[in-house]
């Protein structure tokens, strides 16, 4: 299969390219950093790139929470306009298979259970609560403490920041394309991806990169809130393998199918910072109590659907992955459009 990989020179995209080649496919890199003409917002460039392509693996996006609402036009342009232009090119050239780099941020907060009211969905956390160190959202009905759980693909979608909103819009665009053309679209909702080639020292990088960069400078990782926020840290090679599995699966024409893509092993941000610090032999993390509006407290995946339907299994465990990541090289600061 000949597969065009947008963002194929970036962090995740480069691993997808390697995984495709190892599986016997022919990856074609389409990346603005490799060729300034390879912008997903350039319809003519896409028309030139797509002939002979069997499928597209769409990794190019402006990633991360960003630095404020001033980033909104750029997020929408790169993520949503870029996806719309790409889908237009697919419709014109008759390419009918798409795998999209989705994100767990489309859920907002994760799944929570209340002892009295069952599964509930807390609203956005209030600034006075965050400032006072009350980081865990209470039950919206009775105000008592909640128990976080695993969120499934059928959970209500509630993006809490600009980046999350654009990732959900990408899915809606891909679903509309699939219905209109009979194409097959898969969205892999990545959880917290980490591993070799993460970008360093950029506000758009993931938390693992922030901690790793600090340790490389001999500084203590700075952990926001109380460090107890739960995430699912999934290794980039496992994410690349999920992309290959999605491309090789029997397509579902006329629809978009979403799959959570996580390790299935929830860990706190504080645990991750400590594991990296120990592996690097660096200073212990510092828990700052700081917070960012738009962050969610707990979001961890139920990836059972991906395992059951596509036969995917994560191969890199948390401890081994963190030890490898502590020794791995990081990429120089890069354009935020290259994940």
Active site residues per annotation? 163
Per DSSP, 232 falls in state: E
CA gap 290, 225 in Å, rounded: 5
State the DSSP H helix or E strand holding residue 264, giving kind and residue range, or none if neither.
none
CA gap 328, 331 in Å, rounded: 10
Whole-angstrom CA distances from 53 to 25, 49, 69, 277 are 11, 8, 37, 44
The full DSSP string for 115-130 is TTTEEE---PPPHHHH
Polymer length of the chain: 339
Closest CA to 183 of 83, 252, 100: 252
Angle, helix 269-280 to helix 207-216, in steps of 10 degrees: 30
Torsion of CA 104, 336, 239, 94, to 10 degrees: 90
**Which tokens hold the place of 114?**
């209340």
Q: Is the dihedral of CA 48, 51, 181, 183 positive or negative?
A: negative
CA gap 278, 326 in Å, rounded: 9
Map tokens 């980490």 to a residue.
194
């Amino acid at each position: 299969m000949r597969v065009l990989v947008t963002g194929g020179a970036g962090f995740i995209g480069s691993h997808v390219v390697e995984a495709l080649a190892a599986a016997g496919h022919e990856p074609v890199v389409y990346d603005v950093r490799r060729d300034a003409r390879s912008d997903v917002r350039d319809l003519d460039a896409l028309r030139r790139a797509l002939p002979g392509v069997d499928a597209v693996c769409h990794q190019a996006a402006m990633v991360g929470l960003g630095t404020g609402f001033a980033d909104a036009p750029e997020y929408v342009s790169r993520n949503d306009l870029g996806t719309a232009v790409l889908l237009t090119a697919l419709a014109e050239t008759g390419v009918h298979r798409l795998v999209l780099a989705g994100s767990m941020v489309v859920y907002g907060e994760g799944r929570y259970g209340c002892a009295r009211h069952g599964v509930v969905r807390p609203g956005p956390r209030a600034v006075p609560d965050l400032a006072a160190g009350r980081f865990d959202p209470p039950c919206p009905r009775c105000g008592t403490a909640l128990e976080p759980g695993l969120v499934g693909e059928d959970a209500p979608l509630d993006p809490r920041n600009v980046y999350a909103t654009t990732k959900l819009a990408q899915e809606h665009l891909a679903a509309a394309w699939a219905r209109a053309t009979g194409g097959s679209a898969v969205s892999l909702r990545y959880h917290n991806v980490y591993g070799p080639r993460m970008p360093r020292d950029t506000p758009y990088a993931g938390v693992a990169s922030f901690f790793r960069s600090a340790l490389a400078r001999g500084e203590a990782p700075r952990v926001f809130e109380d460090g107890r926020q739960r995430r699912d840290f999934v290794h980039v090679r496992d994410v690349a393998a999920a992309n290959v599995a999605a491309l090789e699966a029997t397509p579902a024409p006329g629809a978009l199918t979403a799959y959570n893509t996580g390790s299935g092993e929830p860990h706190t941000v504080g645990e991750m910072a400590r594991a990296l610090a120990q592996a690097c032999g660096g200073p212990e993390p510092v828990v700052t109590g700081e917070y960012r509006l738009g962050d969610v407290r707990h979001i961890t995946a139920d990836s059972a659907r991906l395992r059951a339907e596509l036969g995917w299994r994560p191969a890199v465990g948390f401890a081994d992955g963190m030890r490898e990541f502590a020794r791995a090289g990081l990429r120089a600061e890069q354009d935020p459009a290259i994940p």
